[in-house]
Amino acid sequence: MATYDTVIRNGQVADGTGKKLFAADVALKGDRIAAVEAPGSLKGNNEIDAQGKVVAPGFIDVHTHDDTALIDNPTMAMKASQGVTTVVCGNCGASAAPYIRDDYGHFLSLIVKRVENVSKTFAEFAAKVEVAKPAINGAFLIGHSTLRMNAMGDDLARQATAAEIGVMRDLLDQSLEQGAIGMSSGLFYPPAMAASTDEVAEIAKPLGKWGGVYTAHMRDEGDDVLKSMDETFEIGRRAGAEVIVSHHKCSGRTNFGRMKETLPKFTEAMKQQQIAFDVYPYVAGSTILRKEMLDRADKVLISWSDTVKGVSGRDLKDIAQEMGCSIYEAADRLQPAGAIYFMMDEKDVQAAMSHPGAMIGSDGIPFDTHPHPRLWGTFPRVLGHYSRDLKLFPLEDAVRRMTSYSAQRFHLTKRGEVKPGFYADICIFDPATVIDTATFEKPISAAKGIDTVLCNGEIVWRDGKPGAGRAGRALKRQDLQAEAKASA
Ligand code: ZN
Ligand code: CU
């Protein structure tokens, strides 16, 4: 009998494909899963008892802003504590590379807290991640807004010229060659609002050539959500790229219930081209503080402010009252700042999450003083609250939407399944107790019921705290594609 490095014994395997739970032992050797066999048949130097637990692939958080958190906060406890072993970074148009300027503005402060972490090339950035030895893996998109800031400086409130489009296209091309896995856009945000559909489609052309994906924080997630979907799909078609719509929502009270329009539209469009979307399991969103968004929200909490201390976690209405001014004026005085906006319908969130095209992404913002609870709670909340308690979908399907389906959509080769030959990214959790504990009041709080988490064969979370494992990698396009080719 072969002896493996580690055998996870007596667990129920949710292999990531959606297949029904089955009893098996899982053997790991080096950074890979070596065997999945009948209980009691495998021997390891180390054994992990998973009696009563589920053994699942490590979760893939497909929508994050963890680009530089992987460098500054390499244990990545906010994610490892949820069972997450891979984060897809660079979303919503914001990436930390390629960035040729020495300063970074309000928009990039969403993802950057130290200027040393922005990098002139993607290769240089990926090297910084590798030097930091994060506990979990990162895969990286290039932000269209970041490209704009390179090519257009601060003169962003206009369409790019043909020459500027050329510069951006070349920067994207070079970044994809160096290992980025796609491009994201954030046409909703000021740095990219003035960009036309043509501009984005032209810049995105290298995606087709390199097999990169296109993710979109759409221009409008409210009244014009359908129009924005058409625009997003068109950009994907013109670039020859697979499309992922980020954090799909119908935002603002007047748009509550409109998943009845957007979801059938997704279903139809999915017959024509490759499209998917991600969802986070909350009725509130979070981003930078923007006056334009105040009317759309029923309630606004401040998540951070650089100018006024002691406001994080507080209701903007109360802050305005104390200041003796309107909420709009208060928002001005707090800038630069971030906020949490209550602006979605619970039924819509559930409908989106259950759609066959949906996967789970947290959209957590790692550096906020008082972050949205999705940063620490997303995955256990889907497993415990939505799957187990509300029975929105079976546990196996919840796991699939966090693992194999996500790996397929982002082409993360050999991740997302408990299967021999796949990487040893594993989350062992208790299906009876798993639940998020992060709340809007107390958002920094590790989930319950996540037992042991391994990334590339090393323990990154155990007994309620980070493990010693620091074997996370920057997953690069060329390596992922070479491995896919070799195993085809
Ligand atoms: Zn976004
Ligand atoms: Cu985002």
Give the model confidence (pLDDT) of 338-391 as tens digits: 999 999 999 999 999 999 999 999 999 999 999 999 999 999 999 999 999 999
Question: Rounded to the nearest whole angstrom, what is the distance from the C-alpha of residue 115 to the centroid of ligand 1?
Answer: 22
Q: Which amino acid is at 11?
A: G
Q: If you count DSSP H runs as helices and E runs as strands, how many of each does the chain have, helices first?
A: 17, 21
Pair (170, 256) in one structural domain? yes
Asked whether residue 348 is domain-assigned, the answer is: yes
Confidence of residue 427 (pLDDT cuts 50, 70, 90): very high
Question: Rounded to the nearest whole angstrom, what is the distance from the C-alpha of residue 247 to the centroid of ligand 1?
Answer: 7
Q: Which residue has the tokens 């920057």?
A: 474
Q: Which ligand is nearest to the CA of 374?
A: 2
CA distances from 314 to 217, 367, 440 (A): 26, 17, 10
Q: Which ligand is nearest to the CA of 248?
A: 1
Pair (304, 220) in one structural domain? no
pLDDT of res. 1: 66
Listed residues: CB within 5 A of ion ligand 2: 91-92, 363
Q: Which residue has the tokens 């949906």?
A: 358
Whichever domain contains 292, its CATH number is 3.30.1490.130
Residue pLDDT, tens place only, 286-327: 999 999 899 999 999 999 999 999 999 999 999 999 999 999
Pair (197, 69) in one structural domain? yes
Pair (204, 295) in one structural domain? no
CB atoms within 10 A of CB 292: 9
Pair (350, 202) in one structural domain? yes
pLDDT of res. 104: 78
Pair (330, 445) in one structural domain? no
Whichever domain contains 446, its CATH number is 2.30.40.10
Question: Rounded to the nearest whole angstrom, what is the distance from the C-alpha of residue 227 to the centroid of ligand 2?
Answer: 20
Asked whether residue 475 is domain-assigned, the answer is: yes
Rg (CA), the chain: 22
Pair (52, 128) in one structural domain? no
Across the chain, mean pLDDT equals: 97
Residue pLDDT, tens place only, 220-260: 999 999 999 999 999 999 999 999 999 999 999 999 999 99
Is the pLDDT at 470 greater than 70, yes or no? yes
Pair (133, 278) in one structural domain? yes
Residue after which a domain boundary falls, among 409, 431, 456: 409
Question: Rounded to the nearest whole angstrom, what is the distance from the C-alpha of residue 91 to the centroid of ligand 1?
Answer: 7
pLDDT above 90 as % of the chain: 95
Is the pLDDT at 102 greater than 90, yes or no? no
Pair (235, 337) in one structural domain? no
Cα–chain-centroid distance for residue 379? 11
Pair (480, 381) in one structural domain? no
Residue pLDDT, tens place only, 157-204: 999 999 999 999 999 999 999 999 999 999 999 999 999 999 999 999
Question: Rounded to the nearest whole angstrom, what is the distance from the C-alpha of residue 316 to the centroid of ligand 1?
Answer: 21
Confidence of residue 488 (pLDDT cuts 50, 70, 90): confident
Question: Rounded to the nearest whole angstrom, what is the distance from the C-alpha of residue 384 to the centroid of ligand 2?
Answer: 23
Q: Please tell me the total count of domains within the chain.
A: 3
Side-chain-side CA neighbours of 2 within 13 Å: the count stands at: 10
CA distances from 252 to 104, 227, 246, 299, 343 (A): 31, 16, 17, 11, 5
Confidence of residue 471 (pLDDT cuts 50, 70, 90): very high
What global pTM score does this model have?
0.98
Residue after which a domain boundary falls, among 409, 432, 467: 409
Q: What is d(CA 138, CA 76) in angstroms, rounded to the nearest whole number? A: 11
Pair (377, 335) in one structural domain? no
Question: Rounded to the nearest whole angstrom, what is the distance from the C-alpha of residue 285 to the centroid of ligand 1?
Answer: 9
Question: Rounded to the nearest whole angstrom, what is the distance from the C-alpha of residue 90 to the centroid of ligand 2?
Answer: 8
Angular region, 92: left φ>0, alpha ψ -120 to 50, beta rest: left
Whichever domain contains 98, its CATH number is 3.20.20.140
Asked whether residue 441 is domain-assigned, the answer is: yes
Asked whether residue 48 is domain-assigned, the answer is: yes
pLDDT above 70 as % of the chain: 100
Asked whether residue 416 is domain-assigned, the answer is: no
Residue after which a domain boundary falls, among 300, 315, 341: 341
Asked whether residue 415 is domain-assigned, the answer is: no
Residue pLDDT, tens place only, 327-337: 999 999 999 99
Provide the residue range defining the domain that includes 39. Answer: 4-56+421-487
Pair (41, 72) in one structural domain? no
The DSSP letter of residue 58 is P
